[in-house]
């Protein structure tokens, strides 16, 4: 994907996720079983994941190089990155630290939805200031996947929203 396709997919997938969250009944939004996250917690988790990216992508590219280095390998395709993420999850990988959400009350549903859409739009616009080469040169650490190029981090972020939407749909289908 080029940077415009990445920006479009970021907005589209996060908008799809928040539209789905808005469509949930109060009971569905709060539903949890087997210690799985509620829809509200999954929404909060995405906010926690996207927010530091929007902050980081404001930095000049030389800061990425200074703090995290440059890639020394060919970047993964979207499909390869998703496969790696699924492999890590299958091996027991889970969110950790600041990415683990607290219980989310129903009263925060709309505000968190707006926040996630705002963050995704901001991140998409920040990508436009980077070159295609920048996206493949500079790296960021991911807590589960290790060092990712900026493009790979965007691939992850695009897929991450879809992953959590699918998780919610699956759990609710089992419950209904």
Answering whether pTM is above 0.85, one says yes
Taking only the tens place, the pLDDT of each residue in 76-103 is 999 999 999 999 999 999 999 999 999 9
In angstroms, the CA 54 to CA 121 distance is: 9
Instruction: Go through the domains of the chain in sequence order and give each one's CATH number.
Output: 3-175 (1.20.120.450)
Low-confidence ranges of the chain (pLDDT < 50): none
State the residue for tokens 């859409």.
Answer: 117
Task: State the number of CA atoms in the 13 A half-sphere of 147 facing the CB.
Answer: 15
């Amino acid at each position: 994907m080029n940077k415009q396709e990445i920006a479009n997919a970021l907005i589209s997938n996060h908008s799809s996720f928040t539209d789905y969250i808005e469509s949930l009944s109060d009971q569905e939004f709060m539903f949890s079983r087997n210690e799985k996250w509620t829809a509200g917690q999954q929404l909060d988790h995405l906010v926690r994941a996207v927010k530091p990216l929007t902050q980081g992508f404001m930095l000049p590219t030389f800061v990425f190089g200074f703090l995290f280095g440059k890639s020394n390998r060919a970047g993964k395709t979207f499909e390869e990155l998703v496969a790696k993420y699924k492999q890590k999850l299958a091996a027991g990988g889970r969110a950790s630290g600041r990415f683990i959400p607290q219980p989310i009350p129903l009263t925060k549903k709309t505000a968190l939805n707006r926040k996630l859409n705002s963050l995704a739009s901001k991140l998409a616009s920040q990508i436009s200031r980077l070159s295609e080469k920048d996206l493949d040169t500079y790296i960021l650490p991911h807590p589960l996947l290790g060092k990712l190029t900026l493009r790979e981090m965007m691939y992850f972020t695009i897929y991450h929203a879809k992953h959590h939407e699918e998780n919610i749909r699956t759990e609710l289908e089992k419950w209904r």
